[in-house]
Chains A and B, each alone.
Chain A
Amino acid sequence: MSAPPRTFRVQMSDRLVTRGFVGRRGPAERGQRVPPGQYLTSDFPVLSAGPTPRTALDQWTFGIEGLVNQPVSWSWAEFTALLSRDYVVDISCVTKWTKLDTRWHGVSVDTLLEHVELDRKAAFLVAYCDGGYTTNLPIADVVNDQAFVAYGYDGAPLAPEHGGPARLVVPHLYFWKSAKWIRGVRVLARDQPGFWEGFGYHNRGDPWLEERYSGD
């Protein structure tokens, strides 16, 4: 006699308790700084889709192009001579880690945009990078000191595996929006998905709303 087919009862609900799971909670104040579904890490994991590009600083430029009256391009020397400051921010990666109080040095996107006149149709931008990576952002998410282009981390030049010589940092969105190896931004009237946004990740990526994947 053969065994009856094994069946599993399945129920869908908002809350499925896993037997025996207790978890490890931090102090309550952590909840104010760690978005839902994230855990704290003290080291700095590296994630990227391909090899780390290495562009010589004398070949490096940063451009603003697209819907601006006059495109602008800075050399490394010109870029690092722009008004810059220190930032201390919390960052959250969609792969679930959150790191508190990361220390950066860089140039506010506001400072960069002061050098161009945006077309009145301008509403979005795409950050473009060495290695071909792109990510899209509403302009509203990068102005008013919400985003900066960093070239220093923890008191030292930003390491290549962390996006050096320069990366975008948009701390209030998941970290894939903080494009490594950034070389400029293209200003657009219509939104255009970037690299991960085209592979099923959320178009905006607010960690507090858990906007991880398309449809979240």
Chain B
Amino acid sequence: MALNWQVATVTALRDETPRVKTLTMFVPGWNAHRPGQHVDIRLTAEDGYQAQRSYSIASAPTDQPLVDLTVERVEGGEVSPFLHDEVIVGDRFEVRGPIGGYFVWDGAAADPLLLVAGGSGVVPLMAIVRHRAQVGSGAPCTLLYSSRTPVDIIYAEELDRLAARGGGLRVIHTLTREQPLGWTGYRRRIDMSMLGEVLAQTGTMAMAFVCGPTPLVEVAATSLVGLGLAPSQVRTERFGPTGA
């Protein structure tokens, strides 16, 4: 079955952090995605010039035909500055998907989950967190999330709220560059000893999903295997230095 281009209309825009924005798209007839999947978008200029990019879906499948994309602004990029600075509610572009079938979590399994995020790598993991909450999954879930500074934490309030609900979600932040006064949490990049401590508190994980910049993914995935997870339990998605 072909993945056809569909028209997406922007229905809402939300600033998540100074560098990250969420676009809500209305896509009639959208096939519900599996949490973790992404979409391709295509922008067309008046003269027919086109640009395509891939973005992870941030929303849960039950929100369809509304689909949220959370986009980090890449300075000097061709597409993300346009999405940040130019797009207003009512604008339209094309989208096709959902795409990808390995970095996904359906909510059927009750086994514990470990999510490891760096920066905007939290986006596909947020789709998992939201889906898990919406379907009332009993799978214990730990999100270890690395951000530079407190204002760079994407979905900060929603994560706090979901963790406070007592539904088995634990959120552990590490702030690598700047911490608020009185911060008692981690203040360094994710490493093997940090992952060891997290696993010690949560027990053996059935499945780990790691998403972020390549160095973080390399360290986290290698460490998790070193800590006893089978390579097949560790699924990764990398946000390269490009991706503008």
Contacts and interface: CB of A to CB of B under 8 A. Distances in A.
Interface in A181-195: 195
Interface string A151-191: 00000000001000000000000000000000000000000
A32 interface: no
B181 interface: no
A49 B235 contact: yes
A146 B204 CA distance: 45
A132 B232 contact: yes
Contact of A18 (B93, B99, B217): B93
Contacts of A195: 102
A168 to B, nearest CB: 20
B214 A50 contact: no
A213 B37 CA distance: 14
A16 B214 contact: no
A48 B238 contact: yes
Q: Give the one of A6, A45, A132, A215 with max B CB within 10 A.
A: A45
Contacts of B3: 200, 213-216
A19 B91 CA distance: 7
Interface stretch (A7-15, A64-72, A80-88, A120-128): A7-15
B218 A52 contact: yes
A51 B229 CA distance: 11
B180 interface: no
Interface residues of B, number: 54
Contact of B51 (A23, A50, A212): A23
Contact of A216 (B2, B54, B241): B2
A47 B241 CA distance: 11
Contacts of A15: 44, 48
A46 interface: yes
Contacts, number: 134
B71 interface: no
A50 B240 contact: no
A17 B28 contact: no
Contacts of A20: 82, 86-87, 91
A50 B234 contact: yes
Given A16-B44, A21-B45, A52-B222, A215 B1 contact: yes
Given A17-B46, A21-B86, A23-B78, A46 B1 contact: no
A97 interface: yes
Nearest to A15: B44
Contacts of A22: 45, 49
Contact of A12 (B7, B48, B49, B214): B7
Contacts of A199: 100-102
A23 B43 contact: yes
A49 B242 contact: no
B162 to A, nearest CB: 27
A37 B7 contact: no
Contact of B28 (A10, A16, A18): A10
Contacts of B232: 50, 132
A63 interface: no
Contact of A214 (B1, B40, B91, B231): B1
B125 to A, nearest CB: 16
Given A23-B45, A51-B221, A52-B222, A46 B100 contact: no
7 contacts: A23-B50, A25-B49, A46-B214, A48-B236, A50-B234, A51-B221, A161-B214
Given A132-B232, A214-B3, A216-B2, 14 more contacts: A8-B26, A20-B86, A21-B45, A23-B43, A23-B78, A43-B242, A46-B217, A50-B234, A51-B224, A51-B234, A52-B218, A96-B40, A97-B240, A215-B1
Q: Can you list the 6 inter-chain pairs with the closest CB atoms, starting with the nearest?
A: A45-B240, A215-B2, A199-B101, A51-B221, A37-B52, A46-B214
